[in-house]
Structure 1
Amino acid sequence: MLLPMRRLFMPCALLFLANGLLLAGCSSPNSTAPSAADAVKTATAPPPAFPFGGKVDSLNGIAGHTFGEPLSAFTDLRLLPPTPGVPVGPTRTYTYEGTNGWFGKHRAQVPSQLYTFLDGKFYAFVALGDPTVLRPEATFLLGPGQAQGANQFFWDGAQARAVYAENTMGLGREGRLDVLSKSMEAALAAKQQAQLKADNAQ
């Protein structure tokens, strides 16, 4: 991912370098114009560590709720029953049945809205529905994202991660938006690893 970003920055880098040299040659000794060395430093600055993660980190959840909030801060959630034959883990997933906020007002177009909690704290969100409605909202909330193909986008920040993808469903298409907390993802992985060790020790 970094290599295309560097290629994108190369013309700008050359432009900045040329401008710096021209300004240095035409300015007086007392001018505050950046020196050629400063221009080179600016031009060769590395890209940000999370170029597509700013908005997903700023939101750190979904509109109206941030990751880590307790279950008591949410309304209109209904607990989904466990999947038969699948062991119950440390997470619980609820479906949203309310009408508040963008997702509530668009339940007809985005009927599946799932909130997952780890130890009673908001951990992840999934929305599935009409891509012509869900995709623009995902872009509005999180920015343009890193494209992978025509119908898949990633947002990877320091605190949170998100992905939007579309799949063929019957005669149409379905959009899916996943947003999760990276720190809670790590906590869940640690819990699962500890459980696996405990099971193997028996």
Structure 2
Amino acid sequence: MPALHSFLTPATLLLLAGGWLLAGCSSPSSTAPPAADAAQTSNTPPPAFPFGGKVDSLNGIAGHAFGEPLSAFTDLRLLPPTPGVPVGPTQTYTYEGTKGWFGKHRAQVPSQLYTFLDGKFYAFMAIGDPTILRPEATYLLGPGQAQGAYQLFWEGAKARAVYAEKAVGFGREGRLDVLSKTMEAALAAKQQAQLKADNAQ
């Protein structure tokens, strides 16, 4: 597992630098913190989401945040329902435009799907050339937490992303999934309520 990447914001870095500068300019008579306080500081637990800073900051994909209405999107075509699969509360659209990074790389990343829950942007999936898709995923979301050579995870408080590769024919295929954890919970609640309603009949 790779070392944790830096997730400090520029503002945090400025505050830290300011603290160091103030400490360097203080008089020799200033007192150092007690050893017990120093030990407590060094034992501070790691953040709950060490690989989730960027996925939470983005909270969607470049150009669109989770929760945006369908009307904020262009060049989407609704996918027909899958035969034999019950229609649920979500609708999935394929992107056919040429805007943004994903639009400009449609030849290399031909499958780009947007899922909406109650008309609000809930999840994004892209499938294509891993030599193109993986660098873009790490650019957008940071290095991520690796599991093996072909999987990366980003777990935030508000959003989650997974990048994975698999062998296809004589090459490899990459897949990036990004979803809203808030809307995931809302979907689970809807499905649970529907299940209870079905069982009550």
- Cα deviation for residue 126 of structure 1 reads 0.1
Quote the RMSD (CA, aligned, Å). Answer: 1.6
Q: Distance in 2 between matches of 1:65 and 1:146?
A: 24
**SS of 1:128 mapped into structure 2:** strand
- Cα deviation for residue 33 of structure 1 reads 3.9
- Cα deviation for residue 34 of structure 1 reads 3.7
More RCO (CA 8 Å, sep 6+): 2
Aligned length: 178
Counterpart in the other structure of 2:161: 162
Q: Distance in 2 between matches of 1:143 and 1:160?
A: 14
Name structure 2 gaps, 5 residues minimum: 5-26
The AA in structure 1 aligned to 2:98 is T
Counterpart in the other structure of 1:96: 95
Q: Distance in 2 between matches of 1:164 and 1:147?
A: 9
**SS of 1:94 mapped into structure 2:** strand
Counterpart in the other structure of 2:177: 178
Q: Distance in 2 between matches of 1:59 and 1:78?
A: 24
Counterpart in the other structure of 2:106: 107
Q: Distance in 2 between matches of 1:60 and 1:177?
A: 14
Identity of aligned residues (%): 85
Q: Distance in 2 between matches of 1:114 and 1:33?
A: 56
- Structure 1 segment 65-104 matched on structure 2, within 5 A: 65-104=64-103
**SS of 1:114 mapped into structure 2:** strand
- Cα deviation for residue 98 of structure 1 reads 0.3
Name structure 1 gaps, 5 residues minimum: 6-26
Counterpart in the other structure of 1:128: 127
Residues 93-142 of structure 1: CA deviation (Å, up to 9, x unaligned):
00000000000000000000000000000000000000000000000000
Residues 17-53 of structure 1: CA deviation (Å, up to 9, x unaligned):
xxxxxxxxxx95x225444233212210100010000
Rg larger for: 1
**SS of 1:50 mapped into structure 2:** coil
Q: Distance in 2 between matches of 1:46 and 1:193?
A: 35
Which structure has more helix as a fraction of its residues? 1
TM-score (norm 2): 0.85
- State whether structure 2 residue 62 is matched by structure 1 residue 37: no
Deviating beyond 6 angstroms after TM superposition, the runs of 4 or more aligned structure 1 residues are none
- Cα deviation for residue 199 of structure 1 reads 1.2
TM-score (norm 1): 0.84
Residues 48-96 of structure 1: CA deviation (Å, up to 9, x unaligned):
0100000000000000000000000000000000000111000000000
**SS of 1:47 mapped into structure 2:** coil
Q: Distance in 2 between matches of 1:31 and 1:164?
A: 50
